[in-house]
Amino acid sequence: MMQKPQKCAGIPHNTRLSSGMFLQWVLCAAIWLVALVVNLILHCPKFWPFAMLGGCIWATGNIAVVPIIKTIGLGLGILIWGSFNALTGWASSRFGWFGLDAEEVSNPLLNYIGAGLSIVSAFIFLFIKSEMPNNTCSVDTTPLITEHVINKTQHPCSWVDKLSTVHHRMVGCSLAVISGVLYGSTFVPIIYIKDHSKRNESIYAGASQYDLDYVFAHFSGIFLTSTVYFLAYCIAMKNSPKLYPEAVLPGFLSGVLWAIATCCWFIANHSLSAVVSFPIITAGPGFIAAMWGVFMFKEIKGLQNYLLMILAFCIILTGALCTAFSKI
């Protein structure tokens, strides 16, 4: 009976040596295909290359997802980057950062309260401890069913697996914050085009005010950037990238689901404005991810962590409601 090669204990076989580049490329290919369909349905609205920048920003933030999950887990990772995603998206629209027109709401005080509660919940999430598997290397002696799946090359643990427990948390939380800020900036180029379309002297004069018209450009930026990163990864690996066929179908389906959800987000931005949509939309994924982390992956344990998580959820839900009602 054959044995599997050395791997890192507790690290899934399909992710232990991958930086996530291949999975991201498959996911982004699916995202672009959905955008192509949407673009055809909308009868191919004008393509604004600047809108691709938002996709580049998103893809850059997304390359950190695998290291984040390896260091602090899925649940805590999404909770942290979701909070900073909401805050960045809200603040850039509310205060007119990056050349945007400042968004006005009917009840500014209620809007500020909602944003403040989101900040409080973000800091609470940073104190929740996740329990990740031991990162030491060992030999897995689990028998293989078939010989053809054996990779005969001995591989060392990845750089993430070599970090100490303290560094795991520091690196994971830092990457989650950076990713959240990048995610929160992803709609800035589109909002910039829409705002400047109202100015006759701007090169964007007359551009569409319907957010969904920019989906194809935005998603094209995502696919182009992920392709560049994947090619750079192949070069760095000397044309021997770690490709996992079992990740293709899940990655493709994830990309389709993400693309459909983001198209809905575009419509929400158009109807509600980003200053309202960001805090509301980003609250849901964090809750679902945390439930997966608690019940499925057992990443978050202990009464104190549970109480902190419940408190943070109550705060972020209250903040989302305050933000929603501030528009009325």
pLDDT of 16 over the 60 cut? no
Nearest-CA neighbor of 279 among 291, 288, 268, 263? 268
DSSP-derived letter for residue 8 is E
- Average pLDDT, integer, range 122-141: 60
Q: Regarding beta strands 6-8 and 137-139, do their DSSP bridges make them parallel or antiparallel, or are they unpaired?
A: antiparallel
Provide the pLDDT for residue 280.
75
- Of the ranges 69-73, 121-125, 128-132, which one carries the lowest mean pLDDT score? 128-132
Q: What is the pLDDT of residues 295-309, one digit of tens each?
A: 777 777 778 888 888
Nearest-CA neighbor of 265 among 192, 300, 214, 299? 214
Phi, psi (deg, nearest 5) at residue 230: -70, -40
Compute the mean pLDDT over every residue in the chain, rounded to the nearest whole number: 80
Q: What is the pLDDT of residues 132-171, one digit of tens each?
A: 655 444 434 334 333 344 344 444 456 666 777 677 778 8
The span from the first CA to the last CA of the chain, in angstroms, equals 68
Q: Across the chain, which distance is largest between two alpha carbons, in Å?
A: 74
Res. 262 pLDDT band, cuts 50 70 90: very high
What global pTM score does this model have? 0.78
* Cα distance between residue 160 and residue 234, in whole Å: 19
Of residues 155 and 274, more confidence is placed in 274
Provide the pLDDT for residue 170.
86
* Cα distance between residue 101 and residue 95, in whole Å: 8
Res. 96 pLDDT band, cuts 50 70 90: confident
- Average pLDDT, integer, range 104-121: 83
* Cα distance between residue 301 and residue 128, in whole Å: 9
- Of the ranges 8-17, 122-131, 279-288, which one carries the lowest mean pLDDT score? 8-17
Phi, psi (deg, nearest 5) at residue 209: -95, 0
- Average pLDDT, integer, range 92-98: 86
The token pair at 39 is 């673009």
Question: What amino acid occupies position 216?
Answer: F
Phi, psi (deg, nearest 5) at residue 310: -65, -40
Residue 175: how many CB atoms within 10 A of its CB? 22
Length of the chain: 328
Provide the pLDDT for residue 137.
47
Provide the pLDDT for residue 134.
52
Provide the pLDDT for residue 278.
79
The token pair at 299 is 């990443």
b/e per residue 260-285 (b: at least 16 CB within 10 A): eebbebbebbbebbbbbbbbbbbbee
pLDDT of 327 over the 60 cut? yes
Res. 225 pLDDT band, cuts 50 70 90: very high
Provide the pLDDT for residue 132.
60
Burial of 179 (0-12, 13-18, 19+ CB in 10 A): buried
